[in-house]
Structure 1
């Protein structure tokens, strides 16, 4: 697929106030107090984050490089797999306690949240989500050695297809700037977890 048409089949859920495609990138500026979350701990539901996606049937691997101007608590950007408002997974970089962490939220009716400290990379972080039947496998690419590091295996309800794409939110402000580059969806990587 050429860089001029990679975005032709993508659709926005909750379009941001500003976005621009250029080559193999999309630059996004978030709207005010946007997020995806359901109930747990905070007691609220939010489904107004920005999600640029396309439907994907069967198993797949999706990748993107995300680079953001993380400054305010909960600024976040990455990949999302979504079946419905009550069943989705988002994974990417999220700013909390003054640091950018690798963050995963798995939502099956209610949300959970996990964080992993990873080395900072001024060039952004490459993220991969793979669907293996009822499992979503979450990884990021270590910039130092190029290896894919495991972050999570999460249950996700079986379905014929899901929406897959790029997600960003700024729950406590507006105007978070993020650039996604080299987004791709293809066949799933091998199921082997080790070696």
Structure 2
């Protein structure tokens, strides 16, 4: 089980997690807040609905996952909220200097992305994962602010709004034809460009 995350917050990072390629999307900028993790998460919950939801038993990651995705100083452990993906539970992770989102890959790793507090409150946080075994699609997960929407724009200019759960968390599979995802909210907007897809892994040939 493996994950590599980038320490700097900028436009796009590539993360390798157990064979899948995760594209970390984090808005550029810096957070200068010195408030405690709990105070920051409560304040941010008014902008990102999933953080306002009453905690459930499945919001607490197993100990091995906590060490992998939520062990850094400043993480608000009690504020973590989970959501469903095709590969298992994903997590929205508030911390003193921003907001993170993590989703499992189809094997045994996680892709994780973080955004500074100011950016997360305006356009949320998103992570994109490309699995080389299914290179015709990518999985995107977004924790969006209240009133924000995410729209997939294809290479021909067509568009489709990505359906969100009640907590305004979006998990969607994007086709190879997707050019970008546009996030629009009451306080700002941004575009997430799609990366160059990795070549598909060769299928194993049967032995003679």
Larger strand percent? 1
User: Considering only CA atoms, is the larger Rg found in Structure 1 or Structure 2?
Assistant: 2
Which structure's relative contact order is higher, taking Cα pairs within 8 Å and 6+ residues apart?
1
Common fold by TM > 0.5? no
Q: What TM-score do you get using the length of structure 1 for normalisation?
A: 0.29
Q: What TM-score do you get using the length of structure 2 for normalisation?
A: 0.28
